[in-house]
Amino acid sequence: MERLPPHQQLKTDFPILHFGKMPEFDKETWDFRVEGLIENPVKLTYDEFLALERTAQVSDFHCVLGWSKIYLKWEGVRFSDVARLVKPKSNALFATIEADAGYTTSLPLADLMEPDVLFAYNFDDKPLEPAHGGPLRLVVPRKYAYKSAKWVRRVVFTEEQQPGFWEERGYSNSADPWKEERYSY
Ligand SMILES: Nc1nc2c(c(=O)[nH]1)N[C@H]1C(S)=C(S)[C@@H](COP(=O)(O)O)O[C@H]1N2
Ligand SMILES: [Mo]
């Protein structure tokens, strides 16, 4: 199976890439909230999040700037398992993912419900490093990695798609690396 989308180069190291300052993690004040068009809003502590059903997943990672990594091993909670817990209403069609330091991205639920989409807290069988989004990041392997928000704190289910941080700055909303959907023009 071909794993490298068009015009992507394989990286051996794992670059660290984000806008702004890396947030600090305080286990005592950290929480994970799910809100918006759902029956059952939740606010979980770090330990409560770790107690959710966990899934391990090997997947690939494609940055829109042209580098990819393959066979990354993540462990965490499937987006679909979180959705099952919060019960989206019938008019919920998208979710906005909000991270510390103001970063956001959004996706159709149809993409987020794929079984390889995780809120990941482990990488390579170790706790996810802060630089790569620890304690918790979203991993959306089938989209360019700006959809894989690091330091996730809140998910909001919506009827219409809210533009994310990079999407507002000219990057594609659909972000499919196999179709090279890099820019919104
Ligand atoms: N919170 C946050 N998440 C983010 C970003 C960011 O700027 N802030 N950048 C995205 C982009 S463009 C990429 S390529 C990946 C990089 O993840 P890495 O630093 O673990 O390689 O994080 C994504 N998630
Ligand atoms: Mo990126």
- Can you tell me which atom of ligand 1 is nearest the CA of 65? 14
Nearest CA owner, ligand 1 atom 16: 17
- Probe target for ligand 1 pocket from 9, 11, 12, 17, with the most ligand atoms within 8 Å of CB: 17
Which atom number of ligand 1 is nearest to the Cα of residue 101?
Answer: 1
Mean pLDDT of 1-22: 95
Distance CA 60, CA 46 (A): 26
- Which of 74, 146, 168 to probe ligand 1 with, by most ligand atoms within 8 A of CB? 146
Tell me the whole-structure pTM to 2 decimals. Answer: 0.98
For 169, residues 6+ apart whose C-beta sits below 8 A from its C-beta are none
Give the tens place of pLDDT for each residue, 127-178.
Answer: 999 999 999 999 999 999 999 999 999 999 999 999 999 999 999 999 999 9
The closest residue, in CA terms, to atom 1 on ligand 1 is: 150
Average pLDDT, rounded, for the chain: 97
Percent of the chain predicted with pLDDT > 70 = 99
- Whether residue 123 contacts residue 73, with contact meaning beta carbons closer than 8 Å, is answered with yes
Q: Is 177 helix (H, G, I), strand (E, B) or coil?
A: helix
Q: What is the pLDDT of residue 52?
A: 98
The reported pLDDT for the residue numbered 2 is 87
- Write the DSSP string, 76-139: EEEHHHHHHHH-B-TT--EEEEEEGGG-EEEEEHHHHTSTT-EEEEEETTEEPPGGGTTT-EEE
Dist. CA 39 → ligand 1 center (Å) = 30
- pLDDT tens-digit profile of 76-102? 999 999 999 999 999 999 999 999 989
What are the chain's domains? 30-179 (3.90.420.10)
Q: pLDDT of 31-46, one tens digit each?
A: 999 999 999 999 999 9
